[in-house]
Protein backbone atom coordinates (compact mmCIF):
# COMPACT_ATOMS: atom_id res chain seq x y z
CA UNK A 1 0.00 0.00 0.00
CA UNK A 2 2.79 2.42 0.96
CA UNK A 3 4.67 1.49 -2.20
CA UNK A 4 1.61 2.25 -4.32
CA UNK A 5 1.13 5.57 -2.51
CA UNK A 6 4.77 6.46 -3.09
CA UNK A 7 4.54 5.66 -6.79
CA UNK A 8 1.36 7.73 -7.02
CA UNK A 9 3.08 10.73 -5.39
CA UNK A 10 6.08 10.41 -7.69
CA UNK A 11 3.74 10.26 -10.67
CA UNK A 12 1.98 13.41 -9.53
CA UNK A 13 5.30 15.21 -9.06
CA UNK A 14 6.54 14.18 -12.51
CA UNK A 15 3.23 15.29 -14.05
CA UNK A 16 3.45 18.66 -12.30
CA UNK A 17 7.04 19.10 -13.48
CA UNK A 18 6.14 18.30 -17.08
CA UNK A 19 3.24 20.75 -16.97
CA UNK A 20 5.46 23.48 -15.51
CA UNK A 21 8.19 22.83 -18.09
CA UNK A 22 5.70 23.61 -20.86
CA UNK A 23 5.16 27.11 -19.48
CA UNK A 24 7.22 30.21 -20.18
CA UNK A 25 9.13 31.99 -17.41
CA UNK A 26 8.34 35.62 -16.58
CA UNK A 27 10.02 37.88 -14.02
CA UNK A 28 8.52 40.15 -11.34
CA UNK A 29 8.14 42.95 -13.91
CA UNK A 30 7.73 42.92 -17.68
CA UNK A 31 7.26 45.27 -20.62
CA UNK A 32 3.61 44.84 -21.58
CA UNK A 33 1.32 46.32 -24.21
CA UNK A 34 -2.38 47.17 -24.13
CA UNK A 35 -3.36 46.92 -27.78
CA UNK A 36 -6.68 48.75 -27.36
CA UNK A 37 -4.82 51.82 -26.13
CA UNK A 38 -1.72 51.32 -28.30
CA UNK A 39 0.31 51.97 -25.14
CA UNK A 40 3.23 50.18 -23.53
CA UNK A 41 3.53 49.71 -19.77
CA UNK A 42 6.13 48.40 -17.36
CA UNK A 43 3.87 45.95 -15.53
CA UNK A 44 4.11 44.39 -12.10
CA UNK A 45 3.60 40.62 -12.24
CA UNK A 46 1.50 39.82 -9.17
CA UNK A 47 0.60 36.21 -8.36
CA UNK A 48 -1.30 37.50 -5.33
CA UNK A 49 -3.85 39.26 -7.53
CA UNK A 50 -6.70 37.28 -9.05
CA UNK A 51 -7.29 39.74 -11.88
CA UNK A 52 -5.23 42.04 -14.06
CA UNK A 53 -5.65 45.74 -13.18
CA UNK A 54 -5.16 48.86 -15.31
CA UNK A 55 -4.82 52.50 -14.33
CA UNK A 56 -8.04 54.31 -15.31
CA UNK A 57 -9.44 57.72 -14.43
CA UNK A 58 -12.40 59.88 -15.48
CA UNK A 59 -14.72 56.89 -15.83
CA UNK A 60 -18.01 57.69 -17.53
CA UNK A 61 -20.86 55.25 -18.18
CA UNK A 62 -22.57 56.04 -21.46
CA UNK A 63 -26.26 56.85 -21.05
CA UNK A 64 -25.80 57.61 -17.37
CA UNK A 65 -24.67 55.51 -14.45
CA UNK A 66 -27.00 53.52 -12.20
CA UNK A 67 -26.48 53.89 -8.44
CA UNK A 68 -25.67 50.20 -8.12
CA UNK A 69 -22.51 49.48 -10.11
CA UNK A 70 -23.71 45.97 -10.98
CA UNK A 71 -26.67 47.49 -12.83
CA UNK A 72 -24.20 49.05 -15.28
CA UNK A 73 -22.92 45.68 -16.52
CA UNK A 74 -23.45 45.53 -20.29
CA UNK A 75 -23.18 49.29 -20.75
CA UNK A 76 -20.30 51.05 -22.53
CA UNK A 77 -17.71 52.75 -20.34
CA UNK A 78 -15.31 55.52 -21.37
CA UNK A 79 -12.11 56.06 -19.38
CA UNK A 80 -8.63 57.51 -19.65
CA UNK A 81 -5.53 55.40 -19.08
CA UNK A 82 -1.94 56.59 -18.83
CA UNK A 83 1.42 54.82 -18.62
CA UNK A 84 4.46 55.77 -16.53
CA UNK A 85 5.80 57.94 -19.38
CA UNK A 86 2.72 60.16 -19.18
CA UNK A 87 1.30 58.91 -22.48
CA UNK A 88 -2.50 58.88 -22.20
CA UNK A 89 -5.39 57.51 -24.25
CA UNK A 90 -9.17 57.65 -23.97
CA UNK A 91 -10.81 54.25 -24.38
CA UNK A 92 -14.34 52.90 -24.60
CA UNK A 93 -15.21 49.31 -23.68
CA UNK A 94 -18.20 47.30 -22.53
CA UNK A 95 -18.53 46.63 -18.80
CA UNK A 96 -18.55 42.84 -18.53
CA UNK A 97 -18.52 42.46 -14.76
CA UNK A 98 -17.85 44.18 -11.45
CA UNK A 99 -15.16 43.01 -9.09
CA UNK A 100 -14.95 43.54 -5.33
CA UNK A 101 -11.34 43.81 -4.22
CA UNK A 102 -10.10 43.65 -0.62
CA UNK A 103 -6.76 45.22 0.32
CA UNK A 104 -5.06 47.09 3.16
CA UNK A 105 -7.25 50.13 2.46
CA UNK A 106 -10.48 48.13 2.77
CA UNK A 107 -12.77 46.91 -0.01
CA UNK A 108 -13.84 48.54 -3.24
CA UNK A 109 -15.88 47.56 -6.27
CA UNK A 110 -14.36 48.05 -9.70
CA UNK A 111 -15.63 47.78 -13.24
CA UNK A 112 -14.14 45.04 -15.41
CA UNK A 113 -13.71 45.21 -19.19
CA UNK A 114 -12.13 42.95 -21.80
CA UNK A 115 -8.83 44.26 -23.16
CA UNK A 116 -6.03 42.78 -25.27
CA UNK A 117 -2.98 42.67 -22.99
CA UNK A 118 0.41 41.02 -23.34
CA UNK A 119 3.82 41.25 -24.94
CA UNK A 120 3.66 43.52 -27.98
CA UNK A 121 2.39 41.57 -30.95
CA UNK A 122 1.30 38.68 -28.72
CA UNK A 123 -1.55 40.27 -26.78
CA UNK A 124 -4.58 38.24 -25.81
CA UNK A 125 -7.96 39.18 -24.43
CA UNK A 126 -8.32 39.14 -20.68
CA UNK A 127 -10.67 40.71 -18.14
CA UNK A 128 -9.15 43.78 -16.54
CA UNK A 129 -10.41 45.73 -13.54
CA UNK A 130 -10.10 49.50 -13.72
CA UNK A 131 -8.87 51.68 -10.88
CA UNK A 132 -6.97 54.89 -10.24
CA UNK A 133 -3.33 53.81 -9.90
CA UNK A 134 -1.93 57.38 -10.05
CA UNK A 135 0.01 56.97 -6.82
CA UNK A 136 1.36 53.52 -7.69
CA UNK A 137 4.68 52.76 -9.38
CA UNK A 138 3.07 50.37 -11.87
CA UNK A 139 0.09 51.49 -13.94
CA UNK A 140 -0.57 47.93 -15.09
CA UNK A 141 -0.69 44.93 -12.79
CA UNK A 142 -0.74 41.44 -14.28
CA UNK A 143 -2.78 38.98 -12.21
CA UNK A 144 -3.35 35.26 -12.19
CA UNK A 145 -6.07 35.40 -14.85
CA UNK A 146 -3.42 36.39 -17.42
CA UNK A 147 -0.68 34.07 -16.10
CA UNK A 148 -2.65 30.89 -15.48
CA UNK A 149 -1.72 27.94 -17.66
CA UNK A 150 0.91 29.80 -19.63
CA UNK A 151 3.53 31.30 -17.32
CA UNK A 152 5.55 30.56 -14.22
CA UNK A 153 6.99 33.52 -12.31
CA UNK A 154 10.67 33.75 -11.41
CA UNK A 155 10.99 36.53 -8.83
CA UNK A 156 14.78 36.51 -9.28
CA UNK A 157 14.15 37.97 -12.72
CA UNK A 158 17.24 36.38 -14.21
CA UNK A 159 18.48 37.76 -17.50
CA UNK A 160 20.06 35.81 -20.34
CA UNK A 161 23.71 36.34 -21.22
CA UNK A 162 25.89 34.75 -23.87
CA UNK A 163 29.32 33.10 -23.66
CA UNK A 164 30.91 36.53 -24.11
CA UNK A 165 29.62 39.97 -23.13
CA UNK A 166 30.63 43.62 -22.80
CA UNK A 167 31.20 44.05 -19.06
CA UNK A 168 32.05 47.25 -17.22
CA UNK A 169 34.20 47.71 -14.12
CA UNK A 170 33.22 51.02 -12.51
CA UNK A 171 36.53 51.50 -10.68
CA UNK A 172 38.52 51.17 -13.92
CA UNK A 173 36.20 53.31 -16.04
CA UNK A 174 36.54 50.69 -18.78
CA UNK A 175 34.49 48.06 -20.59
CA UNK A 176 35.96 44.61 -21.24
CA UNK A 177 35.13 42.00 -23.83
CA UNK A 178 34.54 39.28 -21.27
CA UNK A 179 34.45 35.50 -21.23
CA UNK A 180 31.42 34.16 -19.31
CA UNK A 181 32.64 30.94 -17.69
CA UNK A 182 30.20 28.78 -15.73
CA UNK A 183 33.09 26.44 -14.95
CA UNK A 184 34.83 29.09 -12.87
CA UNK A 185 33.78 29.69 -9.28
CA UNK A 186 35.14 33.24 -9.18
CA UNK A 187 35.63 36.25 -11.41
CA UNK A 188 39.19 36.93 -12.49
CA UNK A 189 40.69 40.26 -13.63
CA UNK A 190 43.96 41.00 -15.42
CA UNK A 191 46.20 42.84 -12.95
CA UNK A 192 49.91 43.71 -12.99
CA UNK A 193 52.33 46.00 -11.14
CA UNK A 194 50.94 45.31 -7.67
CA UNK A 195 51.85 47.69 -4.87
CA UNK A 196 50.64 46.80 -1.36
CA UNK A 197 51.03 49.14 1.60
CA UNK A 198 53.31 47.64 4.28
CA UNK A 199 53.49 44.45 2.21
CA UNK A 200 54.31 41.19 3.98
CA UNK A 201 55.88 38.15 2.32
CA UNK A 202 52.99 36.13 3.77
CA UNK A 203 50.01 36.82 1.47
CA UNK A 204 47.52 36.13 4.26
CA UNK A 205 49.07 38.93 6.30
CA UNK A 206 48.20 41.38 3.50
CA UNK A 207 44.44 40.82 3.77
CA UNK A 208 42.82 44.13 4.74
CA UNK A 209 45.63 46.22 3.27
CA UNK A 210 45.34 48.66 0.35
CA UNK A 211 46.52 47.33 -3.02
CA UNK A 212 47.22 49.35 -6.16
CA UNK A 213 47.43 47.61 -9.53
CA UNK A 214 47.19 48.25 -13.25
CA UNK A 215 44.56 46.59 -15.39
CA UNK A 216 44.09 46.61 -19.16
CA UNK A 217 41.25 45.63 -21.49
CA UNK A 218 41.39 43.96 -24.92
CA UNK A 219 41.69 47.31 -26.72
CA UNK A 220 44.89 48.16 -24.87
CA UNK A 221 43.23 50.77 -22.64
CA UNK A 222 44.70 50.72 -19.13
CA UNK A 223 43.70 52.00 -15.73
CA UNK A 224 45.15 52.05 -12.23
CA UNK A 225 42.86 50.81 -9.46
CA UNK A 226 43.36 51.25 -5.73
CA UNK A 227 41.24 49.17 -3.38
CA UNK A 228 41.42 46.86 -0.37
CA UNK A 229 42.38 43.17 -0.34
CA UNK A 230 39.41 41.32 1.16
CA UNK A 231 40.80 37.77 1.13
CA UNK A 232 43.02 35.31 -0.68
CA UNK A 233 41.83 32.49 -2.90
CA UNK A 234 43.44 29.14 -3.73
CA UNK A 235 42.90 28.49 -7.46
CA UNK A 236 43.45 25.07 -9.02
CA UNK A 237 43.72 24.66 -12.78
CA UNK A 238 45.54 22.63 -15.43
CA UNK A 239 48.81 24.39 -14.59
CA UNK A 240 48.59 23.49 -10.89
CA UNK A 241 47.48 25.69 -8.01
CA UNK A 242 48.18 29.26 -6.94
CA UNK A 243 47.04 31.74 -4.32
CA UNK A 244 45.56 35.01 -5.58
CA UNK A 245 44.45 38.21 -3.90
CA UNK A 246 40.75 39.01 -4.01
CA UNK A 247 39.22 42.49 -4.06
CA UNK A 248 35.68 43.80 -4.34
CA UNK A 249 34.77 45.78 -7.47
CA UNK A 250 31.55 47.00 -9.08
CA UNK A 251 31.13 44.83 -12.17
CA UNK A 252 28.28 44.33 -14.62
CA UNK A 253 26.68 45.26 -17.88
CA UNK A 254 27.16 49.04 -18.32
CA UNK A 255 24.80 50.86 -15.98
CA UNK A 256 23.88 47.65 -14.12
CA UNK A 257 27.05 46.98 -12.12
CA UNK A 258 27.06 45.55 -8.61
CA UNK A 259 29.79 44.77 -6.10
CA UNK A 260 31.37 41.34 -6.31
CA UNK A 261 34.65 39.66 -5.39
CA UNK A 262 37.33 39.30 -8.07
CA UNK A 263 40.65 37.48 -7.98
CA UNK A 264 43.67 39.22 -9.52
CA UNK A 265 46.16 37.58 -11.88
CA UNK A 266 48.34 38.39 -14.86
CA UNK A 267 46.17 37.54 -17.90
CA UNK A 268 48.51 39.16 -20.46
CA UNK A 269 48.69 35.98 -22.56
CA UNK A 270 44.96 35.36 -22.42
CA UNK A 271 42.41 36.57 -24.97
CA UNK A 272 40.03 37.82 -22.28
CA UNK A 273 41.32 40.16 -19.62
CA UNK A 274 38.20 39.67 -17.52
CA UNK A 275 36.59 36.31 -16.81
CA UNK A 276 33.16 36.14 -15.20
CA UNK A 277 32.50 33.17 -12.93
CA UNK A 278 29.57 31.76 -11.01
CA UNK A 279 29.87 34.22 -8.10
CA UNK A 280 28.75 37.04 -10.44
CA UNK A 281 26.20 35.00 -12.42
CA UNK A 282 24.43 33.25 -9.55
CA UNK A 283 20.93 34.53 -8.95
CA UNK A 284 21.19 37.12 -11.72
CA UNK A 285 21.84 35.45 -15.09
CA UNK A 286 21.12 32.38 -17.18
CA UNK A 287 23.86 31.60 -19.69
CA UNK A 288 22.84 30.74 -23.25
CA UNK A 289 25.96 29.89 -25.26
CA UNK A 290 24.03 30.34 -28.54
CA UNK A 291 23.69 34.10 -27.93
Rounded Cα distance, 82 and 100, in Å: 23
Provide the pLDDT for residue 103.
63
The whole-model pTM stands at 0.54
Domains of the chain and CATH, by start? 26-153 (2.40.70.10), 160-287 (2.40.70.10)
Write out the DSSP string of 265-281: E--TTSS-SEEE-HHHH
Which tens digits make up the pLDDT trace of 211-245? 999 999 999 999 999 999 999 999 886 667 899 99
* Residues in the chain, total: 291
CA distances from 152 to 140, 149, 180, 208, 284 (A): 18, 8, 27, 44, 17
pLDDT means per 10 residues, the chain with 291 residues, are 49 44 81 97 90 97 94 97 95 96 77 97 96 92 93 77 95 97 93 97 97 97 98 83 95 93 95 95 84 80
**The pLDDT value given to residue 5:** 47
- Angstrom CA distances, 181 to 188, 215, 272, stand at 10, 20, 11
Half-sphere exposure of 36 (CA within 13 A, CB side): 21
- C-alpha dihedral sign at 7, 12, 14, 15: positive
Quick one: pLDDT at residue 175? 98
Nearby residues of 26 by Cβ (< 8 Å), 6 or more positions away: 45, 147, 151, 152, 153, 154
Return the pLDDT at 114: 98
Amino acid sequence: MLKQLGLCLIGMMVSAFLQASDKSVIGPTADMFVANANLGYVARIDTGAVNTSLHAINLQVEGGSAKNMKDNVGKMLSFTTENAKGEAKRLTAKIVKTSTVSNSQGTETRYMVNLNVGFKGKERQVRVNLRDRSHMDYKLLIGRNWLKGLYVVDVASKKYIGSTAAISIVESGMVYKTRIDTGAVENSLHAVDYAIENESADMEQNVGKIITFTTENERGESSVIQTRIVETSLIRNAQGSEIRYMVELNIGEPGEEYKVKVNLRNRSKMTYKLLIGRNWLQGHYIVDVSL
